[in-house]
């Protein structure tokens, strides 16, 4: 069994958060281990474990762990006694409420913003764990403007930001090709629909930007006009 050794790296902050909050929530509910809240904590812990052994099902479990915490519903009777109808927040809860008042009680429906922020971290985690994986690129249309270069394979080097546009992938091609006098060994890609690239998923449409001068990748801030977009490509 191969266990990831990069669990403490920056992009792995979400699994560490899930691990700590789930474990703490179980301790806090030690007197009621059969609760739904504890069951959700176990989902989170299994998700973290799957992440450490590089099993892609970790994404579904951590997504479920986050989604279950968004909605918070409480009821208050005319004596002021509050009852939690639905609140699976793991330790922390920062919610905004809408309260409905009835003759002898009230009901508050809230949105917990913390798991919503977690979805952004989950996307960053998915992209960062692609590093080192291989992709194959295919032409999008017969009259593509890049010529007879497809199919072509490449390895994901890292995640980068171009201008204010995040989540681009820097690709090292297995074989170079010439374009307008430049030797192209590297490209920058991103799915057109802004979703995360999926390994071995058939024909995802991507932006295919050429790195005509690798030195430009070392600049503090990258600009799209420095990496020409010639045509779309499909990848899997």
Domain termination site, one of 65, 93, 128:
128
Radius of gyration of the chain from its Cα atoms, rounded to whole angstroms: 23
31 falls within a domain: yes
Task: With beta carbons less than 8 A apart as the criterion, state whether 18 and 47 touch.
Answer: yes
Could you tell me if 16 and 122 lie in one domain?
yes
Pairing mode, strands 105-112 and 71-77 = antiparallel
Task: With beta carbons less than 8 A apart as the criterion, state whether 38 and 21 touch.
Answer: no
139 falls within a domain: yes
Domain termination site, one of 128, 153, 181:
128
pLDDT, tens only, 109-119: 999 999 999 99
Structural domain span for residue 163:
134-235
69 falls within a domain: yes
Task: Tell me the whole-structure pTM to 2 decimals.
Answer: 0.71
pLDDT, tens only, 59-93: 999 999 999 999 999 998 878 788 888 999 999 88
Task: With beta carbons less than 8 A apart as the criterion, state whether 87 and 68 touch.
Answer: no
Could you tell me if 138 and 95 lie in one domain?
no
Could you tell me if 68 and 139 lie in one domain?
no
């Amino acid at each position: 069994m191969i266990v990831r050794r990069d669990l403490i790296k920056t992009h792995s902050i979400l699994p560490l958060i899930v691990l700590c909050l789930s474990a703490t929530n179980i301790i806090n509910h030690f007197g009621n281990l059969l609760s739904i809240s504890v069951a959700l904590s176990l989902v989170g812990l299994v998700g973290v474990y799957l992440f450490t052994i590089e099993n892609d099902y970790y994404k579904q479990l951590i997504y479920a762990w986050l989604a279950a915490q968004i909605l918070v519903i409480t009821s208050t009777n005319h004596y002021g006694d509050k009852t939690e109808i639905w609140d699976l927040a793991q330790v922390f809860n920062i919610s905004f409420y809408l309260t409905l008042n009835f003759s002898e009680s009230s009901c508050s429906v809230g949105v917990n913003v913390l798991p919503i922020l977690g979805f952004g971290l989950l996307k960053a985690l998915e992209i960062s764990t692609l590093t080192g994986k291989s992709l194959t690129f295919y032409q999008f249309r017969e009259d593509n403007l890049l010529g007879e270069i497809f199919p072509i394979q490449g390895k994901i080097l890292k995640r980068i930001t171009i201008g204010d546009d995040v989540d681009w992938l820097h690709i090292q091609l297995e074989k170079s090709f010439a374009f307008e006098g430049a030797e192209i060994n590297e490209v920058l890609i991103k799915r057109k629909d802004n979703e995360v690239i999926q390994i071995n998923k058939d024909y995802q449409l991507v932006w295919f930007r050429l790195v005509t001068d690798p030195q430009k990748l070392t600049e503090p801030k990258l600009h799209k006009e420095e990496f020409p977009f010639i045509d779309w490509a499909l990848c899997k």
